[in-house]
């Protein structure tokens, strides 16, 4: 984000359907653009904010969905956000509801933090599904 000018960032945001950001990046976007979080929610249909060990929040269609973390023995947080986005977007492409996409994202992120390195422990769909169901119940 630091490489974008305010004008470029505004153009990007104005053409964004799903924004993934952590709590620090949201603060930076607001500072750089002068937009409030409510302004961002009005122009972007889905905003996913990851909140470290507090889980994530999905803002979609005037509602907020809180997503819990999948608790594991964390070794390295590197790659957790990337894993979350990968799981979320795969589930989104498969047509799952947004809340399930967030839970799948959380599940994939749990694998990423169990090992050192950003993408050294990504699961297969079946392995992810087993952990998902242990934490959230059956996939719809």
Continuous segment of H or E residues that includes residue 19: strand 18-22
Residues annotated as catalytic are 82
Contact 71, 41 (CB under 8 A): no
């Amino acid at each position: 984000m630091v490489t974008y000018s305010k004008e470029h960032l505004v153009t990007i945001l104005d053409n964004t359907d799903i924004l993934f950001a952590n709590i620090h990046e949201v603060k930076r976007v607001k500072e750089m653009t002068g937009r409030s979080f409510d302004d961002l929610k009005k122009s972007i249909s889905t905003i996913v904010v990851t909140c470290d060990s507090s889980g994530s929040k999905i803002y979609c269609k005037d509602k907020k969905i809180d997503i819990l973390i999948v608790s594991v023995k964390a070794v390295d947080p590197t790659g957790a956000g990337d894993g979350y986005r990968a799981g979320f977007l795969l589930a989104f492409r498969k047509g799952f509801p947004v809340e399930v996409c967030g839970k799948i994202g959380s599940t994939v992120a749990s694998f990423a933090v169990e090992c050192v390195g950003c993408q050294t422990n990504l699961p297969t769909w079946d392995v992810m599904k087993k952990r998902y169901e242990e934490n959230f119940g059956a996939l719809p």
